[in-house]
Amino acid sequence: MHWGIVFGAALAAASLTSAAYPQTLSTPSAPATTSGSGCELHVWPAAGLNSVYLGWLHGGINNGATTGREGYPQVPTDPMSTASQVSLLEETQPQILLGLPNYRLVIHSEPLSSRAIRTSTARLSDSTSACYGELIVDDVFFQQDVFSGSNLKISFRFRDFGAASTPQRVFGTWVHTPLRLFPVPKGESTAAAIEEMKAAYKNDVAQFAQAFLKPTKAKKRG
């Protein structure tokens, strides 16, 4: 199956109105912030960088660039590692961007499995906080296509539980930030390109928060 088809289908289903994810616990890193409110926002990074190419008539091999396949653009080795994402999420402070400044930020050091993300309706941590939310970095993609150039595209999922054991609101979407230094010309330094990708990751977090905070359009009466 070509990822051009799969990725297009994912983008078409950008806004998630319901979701279910299995109870899977991972060890959190040291909390980035503290709060006396007792509220918590738990955040999980993704497993790493994927890649996809979209051509005129078809897509390319899944992860052709990130696995170094011949004929694909050069991508630095593991530029979006889980550990790197943890650091970037700590710097970005997503609880503030999401309008939850009184929430204690708890960033987990390991990603969730795809099965975990998609099949549970329970909290994904063992937290019993009276006000609780979850932000999941689902997929991180370096996308290169003939129409829009290179982008860092990320799929985020946010679940607001409040004091309940099941989500009271679920929201997810893809966001993207253009990359000007990718693909990296063969033989050239990748340092600047990696820094650009890190900045794009942080910008994608901010874009997701803006999409989440955007007022919901009222339904038209027939």
Architecture of the CATH domain 3-213: 3-Layer(aba) Sandwich (3.40)
To the nearest 10 degrees (0 to 180), the angle between helices 191-213 and 82-92 is 50
Q: Does 27 have pLDDT greater than 60?
A: no
* Banded model confidence at residue 183, pLDDT cuts 50, 70, 90: confident
Burial of 57 (0-12, 13-18, 19+ CB in 10 A): exposed
Average pLDDT over residues 114-137: 95
Contacts of 29 (CB under 8 A, 6+ apart): 86, 90, 107, 108, 109
pLDDT at site 221:
58
Supply φ then ψ for residue 187, to 5 degrees.
90, -10
pLDDT at site 23:
31
Q: Does 199 have pLDDT greater than 80?
A: yes
